[in-house]
Amino acid sequence: MDGNTPPQTEGQRNQTAGLFDEPLFQDSGVRDLQQVGVIDVGSNSVRLVVFDGAARSPAYFFNEKVLCGLGRGFVDSGRLNPDGRDRARATIKRFALLAQGMRLSNLTMVATAAMREAEDGAKFRAQIEHDTGLRMRVIDGAEEARLSAQGVLTGWPDARGLVCDIGGSSMELAVIGDGKVHSTVTSSLGPFRLQQVPGGKKGLRKHVDDILKTLRAQVGNHHDALYLVGGSWRAIARLDMERRGYPLKVLHEYEMTIKSIRKTLDWIDEHSVAELRARTGISNDRMSLVPLASRVLRQLVHVFGPKRIFVSSYGIREGILYEQMPTALRARDPLIEACSFMEKSSARIPGFGAQLYAFLRPLFRSRSPARRRLIRAACLLHDVNWRAHPDYRADACFDTATRANLGSLDHAGRVFLGIALMYRYKSGGLRPRIREVAGLLTEAELDDAKTIGRALRFGAMFTMDHLSRAGELRYFPKKAEVELILSRPMAGLYTEVAEQRFRALATQMRATPKVRVARAVHNSKGSAGASCGSGGTSSSGAPSSG
């Protein structure tokens, strides 16, 4: 199995049918996902995940994992671990009952290396199916690699490079790019198997190195980016954060450099499992596999030589959903879809975010597409924390952006979005805990996030069904002027507080505020009108009209 790709499976031959009994997405225009579940029976863990929310960026309605260790001791016995069988059986029964109680629209159970290779795997599968009435789909290594890679594409639509998924008994590689999964290979480089390799550290290093070079011959080594999937990799990434003193403890899309990961692997070698557990709180069952996984990662980086390493919390379970998505659904932006769903479910006026973005967009025409994407997300999220206590609303906004399940958003983007939303409700400086995380941004990025927050704060003053009826904004960077053109019927919306917020926005933009009222009913092209003097308002705060 070392580097050898198995023949095409029944699942691959019938890929269009997917792993679900009934298609999840029969309509490519679907926006919301009903609750669907996946039971993932791995060599080390058994997990139930129930997805809900935006179809393109599903949230975790329920997520429970038990480290059963089905594959522990497999190399010696060729059979499933007896204690692991008992724990897995009880866990799967529990998950089946939970799923029944949740009335899920769909539930899929998949099993990987331990179940497909153990001589008693078929018998245990039959026992589970008898217990639960559910079908257990045992997939081969190539299928496992493909689904894990699709999970990465769920969060990173533009991802390009090499996906590496490590489990307890196997390790899979897949090449991704252009929204597709290309070559896939599987290997025996799982920590349970490596526990039995003879020859000490030298023997282990040679064993791992030989297999990786065989894999490299099949998938190539010209991969600038390496995407890591699997609990052991996430544990190592969490240790990298601990060693570095990294402030944002979000594993998904966490980026590590080659230099940093090598320092962390050395650091892991210098500490006992107990010491590492005490630093991070990672479970003993998980941490016990970290030393072996670390040796694999060290050689993986050496053999393939990636320039950038990313951690993905998305894997086989998310890949099963991606399997079901029509092309049109896959093409949507996961971040915008997630933010739209959050607005729909939590904002006071769902749909206002799109109008707010259209209203503010003239101020940010010179921004890059990536920055305008974050501004659009901020507009969608600007009101989702309105139920929080006013004294903590700004903090709640920041935490929503930095902690929520938002795909296709790197750590700097999370912090940028969080600070922009924070200034939607806050006019003062940063709290100490936020200041620490804000160090992930440059001063220029912090300034821009504050500008966007000021714009959100001002735009929210015109909350209504059709923001375009209130007026429009214009920005003249060469003249350093920002202009508000109010429609005559809605001019009464611009009073003292609105004036203060508009001035604050202009000051943040280092521009002079101008306000005028259109002579005729406002339209999308604007109307001629008399401009006010410096500051753009009368002493009462009301705009002058032409």
Contacts of 407 (CB under 8 A, 6+ apart): 57, 154, 155, 156, 252, 314, 334, 335, 338
Cα distances from 383 to residues 327, 364, 389, 400, in angstroms, run 31, 20, 13, 11
Cα distances from 422 to residues 47, 340, 342, 383, 385, in angstroms, run 35, 19, 17, 11, 11
220 Rama sector, left if φ>0, alpha if ψ -120 to 50, beta otherwise = left
Contact 19, 137 (CB under 8 A): yes
pLDDT digits (tens, 9 = 90+) for 294-352: 999 999 999 999 999 999 999 999 999 999 999 999 999 999 999 999 999 999 999 99
Strand 32-41 with 46-54, pairing: antiparallel
- Average pLDDT for runs of 10 along the chain of length 546: 39 48 77 92 96 92 96 92 97 96 93 95 97 95 96 95 96 96 96 91 95 96 94 96 95 95 96 92 91 96 96 96 92 96 94 95 97 98 95 93 92 97 88 92 97 96 82 96 94 94 97 91 41 38 45
Q: Which among 292, 319, 286 has a CA at the least distance from the CA of 43? A: 286
Contacts of 128 (CB under 8 A, 6+ apart): 89, 92, 109, 134, 136
pTM reported for the whole predicted model: 0.89
- pLDDT score for 20: 74
- pLDDT score for 5: 40
> CA 64 to CA 39: how far, in whole Å?
10
The end-to-end CA distance of the chain, in Å, is 80
- pLDDT score for 520: 62
> CA 471 to CA 483: how far, in whole Å?
11
Reduced to 3 states (helix: H, G, I; strand: E, B; else coil), residue 176 is strand
- pLDDT score for 468: 80
> CA 331 to CA 157: how far, in whole Å?
8
- pLDDT score for 18: 58
- pLDDT score for 26: 75
> CA 416 to CA 418: how far, in whole Å?
5
- In single-letter form, the type of residue at position 227 comes to Y
Contacts of 335 (CB under 8 A, 6+ apart): 57, 373, 377, 406, 407, 408, 409
Q: How many residues are listed for the chain in this entry?
A: 546
